[in-house]
Amino acid sequence: MPQWEPSRYAASRSRTGVFRSRTVPGSDAVHTVPQYAYAVCKLKTDTDVEGHGA
């Protein structure tokens, strides 16, 4: 079984975005504007281990 060495948090990068759909209506009767948003985070350690999340 491999031995796991602890790693340290080294860096993070985040990104957000907003886009509008030209063909899809809003998500419901209250939100009639077809505008959507997202956020993504990337974490790096001092080893080769990386992670992504949304």
Higher-pLDDT residue of 2 and 54 is 54
- Is pLDDT above 60 for 1? no
Sign of the Cα torsion 50, 41, 35, 19 reads negative
4: closest CA among 48, 41, 43, 44?
A: 48
pLDDT exceeds 80 at position 14 = yes
**Token output for 46:** 């001092």
Give the predicted TM-score (pTM) of the model. 0.48
> What digits encode the pLDDT tens for the residues 17-52?
887 777 766 666 666 777 778 888 888 888 888 888
Do the strands 50-53 and 35-45 form a parallel or antiparallel pair, or are they unpaired? antiparallel
Using alpha carbons, select from 3, 7, 33 the residue that is nearest to residue 18.
Answer: 33
Which comes out higher in pLDDT, residue 7 or 38? 38
